[in-house]
Homo-oligomer: A and B are copies of this chain.
Amino acid sequence: MRIHHLYSGGKDSSLSAWILRRIGYDVKLVTVSFGTLDSWRFARETAERLGFEHSVLYLPGEILERAVRIAVEDGHPNNAIQFIHERALEALASLPEVERVSDGTRRDDRVPFLDLPKARSLEDRFGVAYVRPLLGLGYKTIRELTERLFVVEIRESEELEKSDYEVELRHLLREKGIDPLEIFPREHYQSRVLGWREGNLKGKE
Residues of chain A having any CB pair with chain B under 8 Å: 1, 18-19, 22-24, 100, 105, 107-108, 116, 119-120, 123, 129-138, 140-141, 144-145, 148, 202
Contact = CB atoms under 8 A, between A and B. Distances in A.
Residue among A23, A24, A107, A202 facing the most chain B CB atoms (10 A cut-off): A23
B148 A137 contact: no
**Chain copies in the assembly?**
2
Given A22-B22, A22-B23, A135-B107, A129 B140 contact: yes
Contacts of A108: 116
Given A23-B145, A133-B133, 18 more contacts: A19-B19, A22-B22, A24-B145, A24-B148, A24-B202, A100-B141, A107-B116, A107-B135, A108-B116, A123-B140, A129-B144, A131-B141, A132-B135, A133-B136, A134-B136, A135-B135, A135-B136, A136-B136
